[in-house]
Structure 1
Amino acid sequence: MSLRWLSPLSVLLLVGVLWGCQQATIRGDSAIGSDCSGCQVALPINGWCSTCDHGLVAGLIISSQQFHELLDAHGHDVEIATLQCGMCRIVAPEDEFCSRCRNGFVAGQLYFSELTWSLARGVNDASGGGCSGCQKLVGTVGQCPGCATHWVGTVRFDSGETAAVASGQYRRLQMALARLEGCEECAMAGFFGSRCRICGREPIPDRLK
């Protein structure tokens, strides 16, 4: 259909529809701004919304309950002295990550992946606070030009270096979620560093920029 046969009003309406579809696609994987009370409760704790039947991690929607549970985006209390790995006992007091065990530590709590550890080093704040620049950035990856706060999804960081680590893991999760649409095992295996047994796809690279 040629646009020359449409009235100016029709053209404007068509552009509006296309723009709305584009925006829906951009925000389609995020629960930011949702009016669902279950999502509003789950958003700050990376929880599961039973109403919508999906989980949330840094604002991203995880449609697979199994994948959401495997991500385990929560800290676990741990006695550092009881850790069997010597490297873990060294890095735990410094809130660092053990590359040997793939465990991270923040404020005395244990996280089982670099994703969850790196996100825990920031502050989950889906509101964007009182800064208009931050409110526009929340749910994306970037730095506020006004206050210099770094954003990775719904998580804000003061340190650019810390945010960079989190953003790499966040992008890995986005890649896994893209796979999830076609193959659940591919998404889970790829994210955790294994080849998919079903479709044979390679694991998602460990670090992305």
Structure 2
Amino acid sequence: MCLFAATFLLRAVETELWTRTQQEDFLKGTLKKLSIRNDGRLFLAPVVSEIFDPSAAYLWAVAEDSKGRVYVGGGGPDSSVTRLFRIENGKGQSIAEIPGLAIQAIAIDKQDRVYAATSPDGKVYRVDAAGKAEPFYDPKAKYIWALVFHPSGDLFVGSGDQGELHRVDASGKGQIFFKSEETHIRSLAVDGDGNLIVGTEPGGLILRVSPKGEGFVLYQAPKREV
């Protein structure tokens, strides 16, 4: 009887070993100071601290100039004017009020002049150092989702709901440079060869558009928006 009881107790406290390697497994738990990569690997999370609260309903766009100053644009559903904020040396302030519900994109040229695009039915505004905002370009589009400067100095504007990419020179004169078969051009970047890398919606395409305006599909993402 004693031998049977001892055997039962030993079995009752047997060690169990299992393995968790997938991201979804770890997400079921509570993370503390850890981050999970999409391949399931754990590593120390970066330290996050608040540096500025603009008291805006949404913040949609962020850009940094050559002096390290950060510009933030947002907006909300209850105002006809949106604000452009500047954060410098850890302190933030509103520097410009621009007509529109939201600033969806910001770009900065080589002279550190700030360009902010508003939506819906918005325009691209150029903002000087004193915070004066002036209309720079009107693509005649419902939405302006993305801005990027090309090494040539031209500003490229990604828009919707016609999926058009506009090219604008330094004087503010522009035209349609590339028309996609997508509804929206949501993101823009420039590669080392001067090609534009374009993210779209709803097809979730990543396009490469050459300096001649020729488009090529690089990748189709599993999501609607890129």
TM-score by length of 1: 0.26
Higher helix share: 1
The structure showing larger relative contact order (alpha-carbon pairs under 8 Å, at least 6 residues apart) is 1
TM-score by length of 2: 0.24
Higher strand share: 2
